[in-house]
Amino acid sequence: MIHDQGLPMFLWAEACSTAVYIQNRTPHKILGRMTPEEAYSGVKPDVNHLRIFGCLVYFHVPSDKRTKLEPTAEKGILTGYSETSKAYRVYIPALRRVVVCRDVQF
C-alpha cells in the first residue's frame, strides 16, 4: 500500500494498522462468510466510511487554531481510521506527522 501510493516508509505502522482494520471488516470463509468483527461483537460492521489508503483529503482547521487570513482547510493524505472514534488518520506532509480528523472531505 505504501509503495503503490508513493508514501514515505516511516508510515509502515499506519499501513499495517489500516490493513488489519480492513481485514477485520471483510468476510472470511472459515467464519461462514461472517466478518471477524461480527463474530466477536455479534453486530455486522458498517463499511460505508472506508476509503482508499493514500487518497488526497482536505480537513477543516478550527478557527481557534488559525488566524483570520489563513486557509480554513488543509491538504493531507488518508493513512487510516481511528480505533476510538469515527474519525480518520491523516498524514500532513508539510508537518511530517499524522493527526486524527473528524471533518474530512474527499
Express each pLDDT in 55-101 by its tens digit.
999 999 999 999 999 999 999 999 999 988 889 999 999 999 999 99
Q: What is the CATH number of domain 2-105?
A: 2.30.30
pLDDT attached to residue 81: 96
User: Cα 82 vs. chain centroid, distance in angstroms?
Assistant: 7
**Contact 51/43 with Cβ under 8 angstroms?**
no
Q: Give 3-36 pLDDT, tens digit per residue.
A: 999 999 999 999 999 999 999 999 999 999 899 9
Q: What is the pTM of this model?
A: 0.86
Q: List the chain domain ranges.
A: 2-105
Cα–Cα distance measured from residue 102 to residue 52, given in angstroms and rounded to the nearest whole number? 17
pLDDT attached to residue 103: 84
Instruction: List the beta bridge partners of residue 73.
Output: 60
